[in-house]
Amino acid sequence: MLKIAGIMSGTSLDGIDVAIIETDRFESSKVEIIDYFQKEYPAEIRERIDKMINNRHLDAGMVLEEVASLNLKLGELYAEAVRTASSKAGLQLSELDLIGCHGQTVFHKPGGSKTVSLQLGSGSVIAERTGVDTITNFRLKDIAAGGEGAPLVPLIDFLLYRSSHSHRFLVNIGGIANYTWLPADCNRRDVRGSDTGPGNMMIDAGVQLLTDGKSNYDKDGAIASQGELDQILYDRLFKHEFFDRAYPRSTGRYDFGRQYTEKMVKEAYARGVKDIDIIRTLTEFTASSLVESFQEELASEEMITLKKSDCLEVIISGGGSHNTTLLELIEKEISERFHNYRTDLISLADKDYSQYDIPAIDADQKEAVAFALLARESIMKRQGNLPSVTGAKNPVITGDLTPGDTADFE
């Protein structure tokens, strides 16, 4: 058995997640979470990352220095988080076999073979500070093979969540929302997936703008629950060129970050739209773009096997699974668009898994667990991407290995 630490820090900049798991060396769904640790970024680091990704108050001549500096600093923070998680689990670092770290995305511009993506968090620093073999840069090999380097979690969704009897959409709502489509009794070739647009990203940015930074997000969807849809803003958001791109597609702050959100908010403000209605509309936009992607997926020629008697399960994870209003809107959209089918919305934030025959991995743990398992696939020299999801020309072994053991030069 292997003990692996998976590290995830998402586009919402809410901090670092570390999941320490035990799993076998085989391509199986056997995963036990030994412990899980979550830590917010220090305010100074969050501000530095925010400045970089939103091009705020950073002299052009300082950009390269800041990128290099943050790469090292984030490596230190990730290593510290692994040390803390290991101690919390009662483990010595020497008992870990491997670390898998996604890193902090600071730039992602999709474009097929011209995709550009950068994640910070030095694998060399992590390996040196922990002494553990470390896998980083999971996206780049897929990009080299002509893919967009994202999403990568669908492979792990296939390994952990495929069902012999239920059709499933696995949904992660982080800064960006994405899905994995797993038809019942599927094989790798049947798996589909894509980013669907913003998840929490525009909602968070809207709250920050409208509260002058006093709030970073809409807790439980409380603001959105008080507002009403502004149809003009809603329609305007769906005119974004992202929605004209062919599937599979990926996105990020380049498309839906602070600059775009600020532009949309200002337009709405100029028409006298109330704050609560702006947040409501951004929330409905996230829900609608997500469920519309499901509809487009099921309408494709290869997805005509769904029968009205079949069960369609939508399993939601990520920070957005805690937004009660967003979940209610997603459930409403699903019931309206798929009323001919038996549907079941399952939020992993509810932590009630027994009746659904799914792993006991909660909403916040899932992506960190995924990168622990992607590290396992990498070290075992197995495929780490799904070309049907990323658009790559072929399967590849993803990730860069930095050995952690002390070198012996004798």
Residues making up the chain, counted from first to last: 410
What's the whole-number average pLDDT of the chain? 91
Q: What is the pTM of this model?
A: 0.90
Helices (H), 163-274: 201-210, 222-226, 231-237, 253-256, 258-270
Closest CA to 372 of 3, 76, 88: 3
Looking at the structure, give the CATH architecture of the domain made up of residues 164-356.
Answer: 2-Layer Sandwich (3.30)
What DSSP line would sit under 150-185, residue for residue? ---HHHHHHHHH--SS-EEEEEEESSEEEEEEE-TT
| CATH code for the part of the protein at 2-149+371-402 | 3.30.420.40
In a 10 Å sphere around its CB, with 0-12 CB exposed, 13-18 middle and 19+ buried, how is residue 110 labelled? buried
14 marked among binding-site residues:
yes
Of 43-47, 193-197, 338-342, the one with minimum mean pLDDT is 338-342
Same CATH topology for 2-149+371-402 and 164-356: the answer is: yes
pLDDT in tens, 249-261: 888 888 998 899 9
> Which distant-in-sequence residues (6+ apart) come within 8 Å of 4 by Cβ?
20, 21, 22, 23, 96, 97, 98, 99, 100, 372, 373, 375, 376
Check whether 301 has a pLDDT greater than 60: no
Domains of the chain, residue spans: 2-149+371-402, 164-356
Tell me the mean pLDDT in the region 203-224.
Answer: 94
Q: Whose structure tokens read 């070309």?
A: 387
Higher pLDDT pick, 390 / 310: 390
17 marked among binding-site residues:
yes
Tell me the mean pLDDT in the region 126-132.
Answer: 97
11 marked among binding-site residues:
yes
Tokens of 209: 């703008």
Check whether 274 has a pLDDT greater than 50: yes
Tokens of 289: 């773009």
Q: Which sign does the torsion angle of CA 85, 91, 93, 99 carry?
A: negative
Of 116-120, 166-170, 232-236, 301-305, the one with minimum mean pLDDT is 301-305
> pLDDT band for position 60 (50/70/90)?
low
113 marked among binding-site residues:
no
Check whether 390 has a pLDDT greater than 90: yes
Q: Whose structure tokens read 């058995």?
A: 1
227 marked among binding-site residues:
no
Tell me the mean pLDDT in the region 227-239.
Answer: 98
120 marked among binding-site residues:
no
Closest CA to 126 of 301, 279, 5, 303: 5
402 marked among binding-site residues:
no
159 marked among binding-site residues:
no
